[in-house]
């Protein structure tokens, strides 16, 4: 009996110490293992859409990856047009903010299939990639096409070579920053010039 009592006493004595060690150990494991991070992410409320999410965001919607300077502008245009979309964004604070504003958003690295799955890619009408990282882009396209072969893909690229390469692969509509810039400037010049011409 004294042995059991002794163990109980030791256990009780160690309890606060063990508990205080849980969080640092968890952080250590998360920092060292990608697998642990992935498992952990599944319990993160921002990594999946809330159960209360409106049905319209779960099918025939647009999945928008990245809510930076480009993504946020695309989102604003879709909102103005009443197009339903789910944002997939790495920054958790941004996802929390978007949810506060009533938007559907999930957090996580979009190269991880789980993130696109949570954004209901399987039923989506379109995948719009507003992040320019070519490695993430290929992984995402693979996931999207596997889960939803009919999905329409709209991509953004940074470099001209990457843009030509992706266009050749025929996986979607590729947009290249400097080309769009030139288009915008040129159409302004053409329009202004015709005004000047006719005005004088």
CA distances from 155 to 40, 117, 171, 179 (A): 30, 19, 9, 14
Residue whose CB is less far from a second copy, 14 or 195: 195
Residue whose CB is less far from a second copy, 2 or 200: 200
Q: Which stretch binds a second copy (CB under 8 A): 43-51, 77-85, 113-121, 141-149?
A: 77-85
> What is the token pair recorded at 95?
């996802």
| Rounded distance between C-alpha atoms, residue 42 and residue 48, angstroms | 8
The answer to whether 173 contacts a second copy (rule: CB under 8 A) is yes
| Rounded distance between C-alpha atoms, residue 25 and residue 113, angstroms | 27
In a 3-state reduction of DSSP, which class is residue 151? coil
The answer to whether 169 contacts a second copy (rule: CB under 8 A) is no
Q: What are phi and psi of 53, to 5 degrees?
A: -60, 135
Those residues whose C-beta lies under 8 Å from the C-beta of residue 88, and which sit 6 or more positions away, are: 63, 64, 65, 66, 105, 106, 107, 108, 110, 115, 116, 118, 119
Residues 114-133 that bind a second copy (CB under 8 A): 125-126, 128, 130
The answer to whether 81 contacts a second copy (rule: CB under 8 A) is yes
The answer to whether 192 contacts a second copy (rule: CB under 8 A) is yes
The answer to whether 103 contacts a second copy (rule: CB under 8 A) is no
Q: Which residue has the tokens 């990245």?
A: 66
Cβ 95 to a second copy shortest distance, Å: 20
- Identify the residue among 9, 60, 93, 164 touching a second copy (CB under 8 A): 60
Which residues bind to a second copy, rule: CB under 8 A? 60, 62, 69-71, 73-74, 76-78, 81, 83, 125-126, 128, 130, 152, 154, 156, 160, 173, 175-190, 192-193, 196, 200
């Amino acid at each position: 009996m004294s042995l059991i009592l002794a163990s109980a006493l030791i256990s009780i004595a160690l309890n606060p110490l063990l508990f205080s060690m849980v969080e640092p150990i968890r952080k250590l494991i998360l920092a060292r293992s990608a697998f642990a991070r992935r498992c952990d992410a599944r319990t993160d409320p921002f990594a999946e859409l809330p159960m209360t999410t409106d049905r319209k965001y779960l099918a025939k919607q647009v999945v928008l990856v990245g809510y930076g300077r480009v993504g946020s502008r695309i989102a604003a245009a879709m909102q103005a047009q009443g197009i339903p979309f789910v944002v997939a964004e790495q920054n958790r604070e941004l996802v929390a903010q978007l949810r506060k504003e009533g938007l559907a958003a999930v957090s996580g690295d979009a190269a991880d299939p789980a993130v696109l799955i949570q954004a209901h890619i399987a039923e989506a009408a379109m995948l719009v990639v507003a992040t320019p990282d070519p490695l993430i882009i290929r992984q995402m396209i693979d996931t999207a096409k596997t889960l939803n072969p009919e999905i329409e893909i709209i991509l953004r690229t940074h470099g001209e070579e990457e843009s030509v390469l992706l266009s050749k692969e025929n996986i979607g509509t590729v947009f290249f920053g400097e080309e769009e810039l030139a288009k915008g400037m040129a159409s302004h010049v053409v329009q202004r010039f015709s005004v000047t011409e006719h005005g004088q």
